[in-house]
Amino acid sequence: MLCRWDNRWTCEARSTEMSPLTVKYVLIDVFWIMSSAFGFLPYQQHYLPFTALRVLYYSLVYPYLIYGVIVWGSAELQLVNKLTVLQNKIIRIITNSKYNTSCNAMYTKANCLKFVDIYKFFMSIFYFQFLHNMLPPYFSQFMNLVDTSASYNLRSSVLCNYTKSNIRHKHPFFSGPSLWVNLHPSVKSCTNLYLF
């Protein structure tokens, strides 16, 4: 839903799809913003403790990673790789790790999520909200819930409109069900967002 000014605030429904060019420009902007944080952090590394550097990460880098991640998180691999490499460099600075340290160890030490995990986390939350009718009614037109008491076994409880386009398959309404299927059953059985 996008809001605009028409002598009063009104909401009008628009397509949630972004063209590949728009996604590319959004990712380039995020990359440049993260690059400026990357240029700032090495100078602070020797003067600030780990907790302060982590706070700087969550205030300078993380908000740009999560902004709109549901829409552009499944972009082309080469674009997402640039962000991932830069995020690895920033986490390496925060944890004061050597260049050959495993990325998994650095993220565990910093108690941070990788970009791919951030995307999966927010996509799972979005899909959970859809299944429990916590999203605005506008979103209900994109997916249809399936009666799970039927005699046949389906992988997902949601049916999406069929498409051949690769771009459309990266859309949240197509990638969400595939992420949901792979979640552990105990996570899927949560009844509220706080437990999820």
Buried b (16+ CB within 10 A) or exposed e, 108-132: eebebbbbeebbbebbbebbbebbe
| Whether 95 and 131 share a structural domain | no
| Whether 41 and 98 share a structural domain | yes
Task: List, in sequence order, every beta strand (DSSP E) within the chain.
Answer: 2-5, 9-12, 143-145, 158-160
- If one counts the domains in the chain, the total is 2
Stretch among 37-41, 89-93, 130-134, 169-173 having the lowest mean pLDDT: 169-173
Range of the domain at 172: 120-188
Between these two residues, 174 and 192, which has the higher pLDDT value? 192
Instruction: Read off the amino acid at residue 113.
Output: L
User: pLDDT (tens digit, 9 = 90+) per residue, 127-155?
Assistant: 888 888 888 887 777 666 655 545 444 55
| Domain annotation covers residue 2 | no
- Owner of token pair 């302060």: 52
Instruction: Read off the amino acid at residue 41.
Output: L
| Domain annotation covers residue 72 | yes
User: pLDDT (tens digit, 9 = 90+) per residue, 41-80?
Assistant: 888 888 899 999 999 999 989 998 998 888 788 777 888 8
Distance between CA atoms of 103 and 92, rounded to whole angstroms? 8
| Whether 96 and 140 share a structural domain | no
Contacts of 12 (CB under 8 A, 6+ apart): 1, 2, 3, 4
Stretch among 8-12, 99-103, 155-159 having the lowest mean pLDDT: 8-12
Q: How far is CA 169 from CA 109, 163, 176, in A?
A: 34, 7, 10
| Whether 75 and 30 share a structural domain | yes
| Domain annotation covers residue 14 | no
Cβ 93 vs Cβ 52: under 8 Å:
no
